[in-house]
Structure 1
């Protein structure tokens, strides 16, 4: 950030992000060496607070980039965004993993001698993500948000899952759900709007969105195909860029709503699919449905207090589908490539879009993940 031109780093949004990182560095610098479990619990409070404070980083950066698009070349701004987002993912993964493993250690069911095979999770890492389950959960969430945005009478396109339905791979669920959610959100929105334009009465069903899962030895490919008319020609040049040219002003107005969404996220989307998977339900004396952490991140702390942290991706995922931010595809590609995967998109103008998400399996028996975790446990 210090290498940016002065006029860019003084942008209010970029400057605010800079201050967040500087303050985080200052806070961690003052943490004494961890020598006991109590020391670790104090560290976890600092980590948790910092994660919370940094929820607004992605929308703030995106707003800063749009506001500075006339001050730097688009390629240079994108290089900066990709670099800072990758390093941000690294830090958040390490921080969230530490909180999740600490929470597991404190959980009443945890046995220090337990084998890794006894659980589907190592901290935040879900060892057996089933592609079909993730697609179906994300599809339902996106369809629910679309109904809320377009009204209960909207004719919803069906989401059909085909191919290798039992394909599994290790992944961090919140990352996978964000990418799949963005691809399905784009397709659902495009199909609904094209169908509404073509048939005002909405008497016929819109064409389905087909999601094909293809499993190979080293990777899984998920293809999302829609017949939503393709990507408009004026949007194509900016598709993978965080700089958006003529569309910047409208996107800035939309992005301005996102930092405030962190506070209202619970109303928008009470619990993410990733959280839902990992928690047994319990009823408290007051009869309300409560969720208890099972030591796999995002859960309640061992003292029964508030959840450790809310993920920044769920803030973005919980927004209405017609609130365009212009960052879904470039941000999804950053997350896909971070885990040695890829994201490509082919648009057939006037017909539809095919998106291809390639996910590395990191070894078909999770050797790398389990070996690394075993070594850490020694």
Structure 2
């Protein structure tokens, strides 16, 4: 309670006095009473469904594109304002933590830029707005590792439920903002290129309207099996496991390809690694099975491996692997992970939780730049982000460990696209 009173009192101090009393504390943490922020934070977010995004983007023209631009322009500062308020409500020991103050400053700056951005009335102004969005997206590439670092270091100061709830709100909101920004950018490109090439009927903005699950599994399998030998496990001479796909192999549904591929990729990556580690002397590794089943309302994917299960003295429940608290997952405070997060947060590449950023790091660039061949260090973000991607539009991700044998992971995604974004205000 004393920390909280300290934090509230310090917010009202003039900046010079705060600097004198708290040297070394970033100016990003000096929380002034901001009427503009309060006004935006008082507004509800206008949540959308996948079906709404597809319907509006299908018959895109200049007028609808301008409306889309102004929706993004006015909606994003509202969503950012809610997260700024979230950070301001944290204990002082947390908001001043390494990484958290960096994220706060990025969000504060983005909020000011968006709320000051003028109304968009022409295609030329929309093109400039898209460039503005790209710059913001690039600037925020360090948010995930910085936030993960800060909250890992803050884990001793927050109860697990509060920490995980905060991280979920932050990461879901981040996903939602990137979806809106990137969707609008792709819609703009489709309008600009319409005269040069006919738009694909399978893609509306960032949404693939006929996404085939089997193809996504095969694509992620190829990526993982084509990795340079020795990246995971000790027996680099043995080929990776085969992935056997069964079930409803022809099922297609409307979804964000990048999200589905990330989930599948991360789950298969974990299965590949666990299987290799469980069978270090095998000449042929046991296969991994991916089963796809569709009902009238859901698409379900089960990934089963023989990687030994989730046997660990630090993990009491499979759901603890989704937690950012060291009380539920002791690996959150290991020196190796904290060092990896610091490396990722200071890298120009940042971390955006996509498959493409991972596979780009496996091979040198054509220029011979070997630095590009360095993969991202293991920072334990894959499962938590997969869970958040799966639940963003009302799906789920569950893990069942058969200790000593293997793990079954069940992913359920809504098929109809009628669920609203899972943003918590």
TM-score bracket, normalised by the shorter chain, equals 0.7 to 0.9
1:4 is displaced (CA, Å) by: 0.6
Q: Which residue matches 1:276?
A: none
Q: Which residue matches 2:403?
A: 349
The equivalent position to 2:262 in structure 1, one of 178, 203, 211, is: 178
Q: Which residue matches 1:136?
A: 218
CA change 1:242–1:231 in 2 (3 A) is same
What TM-score, normalized by structure 1, do the two folds share? 0.76
Distance of 1:8 and 1:145 partners within structure 2: 39
1:225 equivalenced with 2:304 (yes/no): yes
Q: Which residue matches 1:153?
A: 237
CA change 1:74–1:258 in 2 (3 A) is same
Q: Which residue matches 2:190?
A: 104
CA change 1:180–1:146 in 2 (3 A) is farther
**Within 5 A, what are the aligned runs for 1:145-294?**
145=227, 147=229, 149-150=231-232, 153-196=237-280, 199=281, 202=282, 204-237=283-316, 238-245=320-327, 246-247=330-331, 248-249=333-334, 250-259=336-345, 263=349, 269-270=359-360
CA change 1:146–1:184 in 2 (3 A) is farther
CA change 1:342–1:171 in 2 (3 A) is same
Distance of 2:244 and 2:416 partners within structure 1: 27
CA change 1:25–1:252 in 2 (3 A) is same
Distance of 1:124 and 1:331 partners within structure 2: 18
**Within 5 A, what are the aligned runs for 1:18-33?**
18-33=104-119
Distance of 1:28 and 1:333 partners within structure 2: 29
Distance of 2:119 and 2:230 partners within structure 1: 49
**Within 5 A, what are the aligned runs for 1:86-97?**
86-97=172-183
Distance of 1:241 and 1:355 partners within structure 2: 17
1:242 is displaced (CA, Å) by: 1.2
* Contact 1:191 1:229 survives alignment (8 Å): yes
* Contact 1:242 1:326 survives alignment (8 Å): no
**What's the Cα RMSD here?**
2.6
What TM-score, normalized by structure 2, do the two folds share? 0.68
1:335 equivalenced with 2:389 (yes/no): yes
Distance of 2:340 and 2:380 partners within structure 1: 9
**Within 5 A, what are the aligned runs for 1:356-367?**
356-362=410-416
The equivalent position to 2:206 in structure 1, one of 106, 116, 124, is: 124
Distance of 1:264 and 1:154 partners within structure 2: 32
Q: Any stretches of 5+ residues in structure 1 without a counterpart?
A: 273-287, 289-314, 370-378
Distance of 1:26 and 1:256 partners within structure 2: 27
* Contact 1:160 1:209 survives alignment (8 Å): yes
Q: Which residue matches 1:51?
A: 137
Distance of 1:263 and 1:75 partners within structure 2: 31
Which protein shows a greater Rg? 2
Q: Which SS does the other structure have where 1:165 is aligned?
A: coil
Q: Which residue matches 1:17?
A: 103
Higher relative contact order (CA 8 A, sep 6+): 1
